[in-house]
Structure 1
Amino acid sequence: MSVEIKQAKCIAVLGTGSDVGKSVVATALCRIFSDQGHKVAPYKAQNMSNNSGVTPEGLEMGRAQIVQAEAARIAPHVDMNPVLLKPVTQIGSQVVLLGKVHKDLSAAEYHREKAKLWDTACGALDRLRAVNDVVVMEGAGSCAEVNLMARDIVNLKMAAYARAPVILTADIDRGGVFAQIVGTLACLNKAEQDMIAGVIINRFRGDIALFKEGVAWIEKKTGKPVFGVLPWVNHRIPNEDSVVIEQAVAKIDPAQTPTVLVVRTPHISNFTDFDPLFQVDGLGVDFVEHPRDLAAYKAVILPGSKSTCSDLNWLARTGWASKIQTYVKNGGHVLGVCGGYQMLGTKVHDPHGLEGTPGDTDGLGLLPFETVLKAPKTTTISRFEWDGVPGIGYEIHMGRTVSVDRIASGKPEDNGLLRVKERNRQACTDFDGAATDSGRVMGTYMHGFFDSAPILKKWLSLLGLSELDPPESCGLQERDRQYDMLARHFETHVDVPAIVNTMNYIH
């Protein structure tokens, strides 16, 4: 007697372009299906982002699917994002396969490995479908990039493999939403068009009743139902791509409002580390690319980087380095996180060429430490204390950062900014980070450093901003509240039962 193998039904959220709201729609569906009592998991075959995170097993995956796993109320697993591309140069990326570094590949080399990557992605989806009721799949960029579709493993080809109906997501806020939808469908062949079950229009501003004629036109022109029109809402769900900060324009005067500046380096990673700062009433946050006078800012932050040496050279070439050094001499506060922490030292050594040509790069010289880049990559979820104040974060980095007098001996540090209590559920007595005696310059490898309200409060007090209070809910607690708010917003404006009917799986 043959035994029927369980296969969860799938729904695919694809887009008319990048940053049209695919991740938000997928996150909302994950929470809604979880609320309905279904065991649901997110899935994205291939993610291209330097905004990654760590699973409980200490493996690396894209932050967007970690967020969606949280919305689904389950632990993240690398099967949810089997292929992660972390851009290193304009033409190449580090390939992370099932949570572990595979190799650096140029675009051409990557396409030659697509068969292997396809098999890996399909295997991951099969495993998810075997243990869940529903899998919410997310696409990448536009699903109608005609020059890439033959080699695509994340959009329509993967939806076809899963026999998943497709929700086409479009963004009305950027303009041209009718052309987005009709043009996307026009680029697809008949079989691909038939996979599109319906459309969701995202980020509508104004009186939604005035768009009824627009909805009717789209449905008549395409023959596809519009499942809903989502009004624009300022949700606080972490974004997947740095396009959100690339489009940001600073509107805060640091002379009038206490403001923190984050240097937007070319290879910035894990920019969501600073989301909690936006939740502090009375605090401004600027992501800034071009050097400027820093005197009015309460602190300068050097974020994580996918290419520390390249970004260090950029800091020197653009004048940022001298600006930051002068700022510190004049009493300013600087925080470096992960790659930014490495930049604060005197040297970054790359003897094996992990980031390009082997060699040494001068650091900013603000901390008496040097970094040696070397494999394997450290990937941990870590619990720590800062002067007795507890926090939780995650580490993703290559190499070790140690004081100059310990480099030759190879001995670990016997003190640091943070006391690490646990890594990947294993107790430890390690140290992380460093700070000057004054505490005005400090660095840490801990991503998610501000996710704990007491840690954020302590840092604000260090800046002389003790009057500012973080929200009571911070980190995962706050994100969970936002997932509920997003789900209710989605259910109000989108015909969820119609989406469910296209899946035909709820018994």
Structure 2
Amino acid sequence: MANKAVCIAVLGTGSDVGKSIVTSALCRILVNKGYRVAPFKAQNMSNNSGVTADGLEMGRAQIVQAEAARIAPHVDMNPVLLKPTSDVGSQVVLNGKAWMEASSVSYYEKKDYLFAESCAALDRLRDQYDVIVMEGAGSCAEVNLMANDIVNLRCAAYADAPVILVADIDRGGVFAQIVGTLACLDAAQQEQIKGFMVNRFRGDIKLFQDGIDWIEQKTGKRVYGVLPWYKHFHIEAEDAVVIENAPSYVPAAAGDTAVAVIKLPHISNFNDFDPLMHIPGLHLAYLQQPQDLSAFKAVILPGSKSTCSDLDWLRASGWLDHITVFAENGGHVLGVCGGYQMLGTWVHDPDGIEGRPGSTEGIGLLPVETTLKAPKTTTLTDFSWAGQQGCGYEIHMGQTHLAGGQPLVDVLSRNQEQCQDRDGCVNDNGNVIGTYVHGFFDSPSVTRHWLRLIGLDGLQPEEQLHGPAGRDKAYDQLAEHAAQHLDIEAILELIDTTTSGEQA
């Protein structure tokens, strides 16, 4: 008889309160203490996804948490992934594979089956590890959704996991967040919540002691710590809420050397460009409102979960004209995945994979044409660009065919199988390029080559802050930051007192 892993659940008073960060911190802290630890999120809604070593798709947040736990990501850590394609519809990725295109109504009809699949994934993880750190989604007290919720209190109850509730003091109303959440729950659900963490505090934490005392007296539950804001390291964000309402930016006025990323309505995998944020002397600006681009060194069109819809938005908003003028004047443009497709002449969707069947005219800066069709490509991809080797991943529907130009990179392997393939396209002038490879900038040598291409030879990525090495260092910094401000011993006691199931 072998004991199953104990579980602890990190739930929230709302979306973007810091659940993912706390989960990542606990994963690194626990693995540093000698536990075999894995993250788990039954259902994730995000267009930021990645690929596992066996070519399956899962949310980037759980990949980050797996990296923090120093283990390889596995789809059991995120069995259900919802990738929104519209305000009312999503692609459902189940156990790493595209499963169905669902409206909100049709998805809820599948909830019992999806909950069973999620529990089975959690059980498999519990057979392999000592501790599972479970992350919730949104608020755990959405009373109108709770009957169909498979990721918060219902999942924690299945795992017999004590719950720590995370609240965000920066958005205001932290006391109402905590007390109001409890008020929305029945007595049994309230009992699941053992205590709280207050996140994103600014100022002198000593001045919040009265607040801690009030919370503990009002609720009869413990505050396990208050986490201050941090600026000395960067952890990859779970979804695009961190770049909502991106402002205009003028590099010349700010005296900056800057690269622009167009913030598409259905932007995906924007963390592809995180390595550029750490290059001394370079500013990365996300732009939403159309503006003149002439002062930027390069413009990036990122991935999209709804390429045709975002193409229509570029055209209707006026962005298409700004991008075209920039490229025609010799400006450097990079398209990644959906952005690569948009740079072509046409995107065809004969089967209505992204919506209504039909064809959408592209920007026309690359001589390529795309047809969206199944099956979905999900690969870890090793590539070489002008002699510089990198490793990224591909997640896309459909195929893109060149009618001119040259391929951008040589593909050396996909999902650990060697191949001789080409990817992407370069226009005849060499200033417009596109690729399907996410994680393109994770390799410092690839980043340096791109910087030279856009005329920034003098800028150099700091290798210790770049790509996987930079992320690993940031997890250590996050763990140190959290350990300073959380009562880790009390959290360990909470885990140790949890009743553990057994495996036959």
TM-score band w.r.t. shorter chain: over 0.9
- In the alignment, which residue of structure 1 is the partner of 2:238? 240
User: Which of 66, 70, 94 matches 1:97?
Assistant: 94
> Cα distance 1:487–1:250, how it changes in 2: closer, same or farther (>3 A)?
farther
- In the alignment, which residue of structure 2 is the partner of 1:218? 215
> Cα distance 1:484–1:250, how it changes in 2: closer, same or farther (>3 A)?
farther
CA distance in structure 2 between the aligned counterparts of 1:143 and 1:301, rounded to whole angstroms = 36
Letter in 2 for 1:148: L
- In the alignment, which residue of structure 2 is the partner of 1:16? 13
Aligned positions of 1:356-375 closer than 5 A: 356-375=355-374
Please state if 1:149 is matched with 2:146: yes
Letter in 1 for 2:441: F
CA distance in structure 1 between the aligned counterparts of 2:454 and 2:139, rounded to whole angstroms = 43
Secondary structure of the residue aligned to 1:131 is coil
- In the alignment, which residue of structure 2 is the partner of 1:409? none
Letter in 1 for 2:292: D
Runs of 5+ consecutive residues of structure 2 not aligned to the other structure: none
- In the alignment, which residue of structure 1 is the partner of 2:471? 479
8 Å CA contact 1:393, 1:447 repeated in 2: yes
> Deviation of residue 352 (structure 1)?
1.1
Letter in 2 for 1:484: D
- In the alignment, which residue of structure 2 is the partner of 1:307? 306
CA distance in structure 2 between the aligned counterparts of 1:275 and 1:113, rounded to whole angstroms = 36
- In the alignment, which residue of structure 1 is the partner of 2:178? 181
CA distance in structure 1 between the aligned counterparts of 2:39 and 2:259, rounded to whole angstroms = 34
Aligned positions of 1:85-234 closer than 5 A: 85-234=82-231
Per-residue deviation, residues 28-48 of structure 1 (Å, max 9, x unmatched): 011111111111110000000
> Deviation of residue 505 (structure 1)?
6.0
Please state if 1:261 is matched with 2:252: no
Please state if 1:29 is matched with 2:26: yes
> Deviation of residue 121 (structure 1)?
0.4
- In the alignment, which residue of structure 2 is the partner of 1:464? 455
8 Å CA contact 1:9, 1:505 repeated in 2: no
Secondary structure of the residue aligned to 1:340 is helix
> Deviation of residue 355 (structure 1)?
0.8
252-261 vs 50-59, which moves further: 252-261
Letter in 2 for 1:41: A
Aligned positions of 1:30-49 closer than 5 A: 30-49=27-46
CA distance in structure 2 between the aligned counterparts of 1:250 and 1:42, rounded to whole angstroms = 37
TM-score, length-scaled by structure 1: 0.96
CA distance in structure 2 between the aligned counterparts of 1:134 and 1:183, rounded to whole angstroms = 30
Please state if 1:488 is matched with 2:469: no
Secondary structure of the residue aligned to 2:446 is helix
- In the alignment, which residue of structure 1 is the partner of 2:324? 325
Please state if 1:432 is matched with 2:404: no
CA distance in structure 1 between the aligned counterparts of 2:192 and 2:473, rounded to whole angstroms = 34
Q: Which runs of 4+ in 1 moved over 6 A?
A: none
> Deviation of residue 61 (structure 1)?
0.3
Per-residue deviation, residues 72-126 of structure 1 (Å, max 9, x unmatched): 0111000000000000110010000000000100000000011110110010001
Two-structure CA RMSD over aligned residues (Å):
1.4
- Between the aligned residues of both structures, percent identity stands at 61
Per-residue deviation, residues 417-440 of structure 1 (Å, max 9, x unmatched): 001111111111111101113321
> Deviation of residue 284 (structure 1)?
1.1
> Cα distance 1:377–1:241, how it changes in 2: closer, same or farther (>3 A)?
same
8 Å CA contact 1:351, 1:358 repeated in 2: yes
> Deviation of residue 6 (structure 1)?
2.8
Letter in 2 for 1:231: P
User: Which of 25, 41, 61 matches 2:58?
Assistant: 61
> Deviation of residue 489 (structure 1)?
0.8
Letter in 2 for 1:213: D
22-31 vs 471-480, which moves further: 471-480
Per-residue deviation, residues 170-227 of structure 1 (Å, max 9, x unmatched): 1111111111111111111111111111111111111111111111111111111110
CA distance in structure 1 between the aligned counterparts of 2:48 and 2:437, rounded to whole angstroms = 14
Secondary structure of the residue aligned to 2:171 is coil
Letter in 2 for 1:377: K
CA distance in structure 2 between the aligned counterparts of 1:330 and 1:252, rounded to whole angstroms = 18
67-76 vs 456-465, which moves further: 456-465
CA distance in structure 2 between the aligned counterparts of 1:493 and 1:210, rounded to whole angstroms = 14
8 Å CA contact 1:254, 1:284 repeated in 2: no
Secondary structure of the residue aligned to 2:138 is coil
Secondary structure of the residue aligned to 1:365 is coil
User: Which of 61, 80, 83 matches 1:83?
Assistant: 80
- In the alignment, which residue of structure 1 is the partner of 2:378? 379
CA distance in structure 2 between the aligned counterparts of 1:146 and 1:250, rounded to whole angstroms = 38
Runs of 5+ consecutive residues of structure 1 not aligned to the other structure: 406-412
- In the alignment, which residue of structure 1 is the partner of 2:413? 422
> Deviation of residue 248 (structure 1)?
4.6
Per-residue deviation, residues 355-386 of structure 1 (Å, max 9, x unmatched): 11111110011011100111100001111111
- In the alignment, which residue of structure 2 is the partner of 1:275? 274
Letter in 1 for 2:492: V
> Cα distance 1:501–1:249, how it changes in 2: closer, same or farther (>3 A)?
farther
Count of residues in Structure 1 that have an aligned counterpart in Structure 2? 496
8 Å CA contact 2:276, 2:284 repeated in 1: yes
279-288 vs 106-115, which moves further: 279-288
CA distance in structure 2 between the aligned counterparts of 1:250 and 1:236, rounded to whole angstroms = 23
8 Å CA contact 2:383, 2:391 repeated in 1: yes
> Deviation of residue 402 (structure 1)?
0.8
- In the alignment, which residue of structure 2 is the partner of 1:410? none
8 Å CA contact 1:50, 1:86 repeated in 2: yes
Per-residue deviation, residues 51-77 of structure 1 (Å, max 9, x unmatched): 000000000000000000000011100
CA distance in structure 2 between the aligned counterparts of 1:392 and 1:254, rounded to whole angstroms = 34
> Deviation of residue 289 (structure 1)?
1.1
Letter in 1 for 2:370: T
Secondary structure of the residue aligned to 1:108 is helix
- In the alignment, which residue of structure 1 is the partner of 2:444? 453
Letter in 2 for 1:488: E
8 Å CA contact 1:337, 1:444 repeated in 2: yes
8 Å CA contact 1:252, 1:284 repeated in 2: no
Letter in 2 for 1:497: E
User: Which of 474, 494, 502 matches 1:502?
Assistant: 494
CA distance in structure 1 between the aligned counterparts of 2:314 and 2:435, rounded to whole angstroms = 19
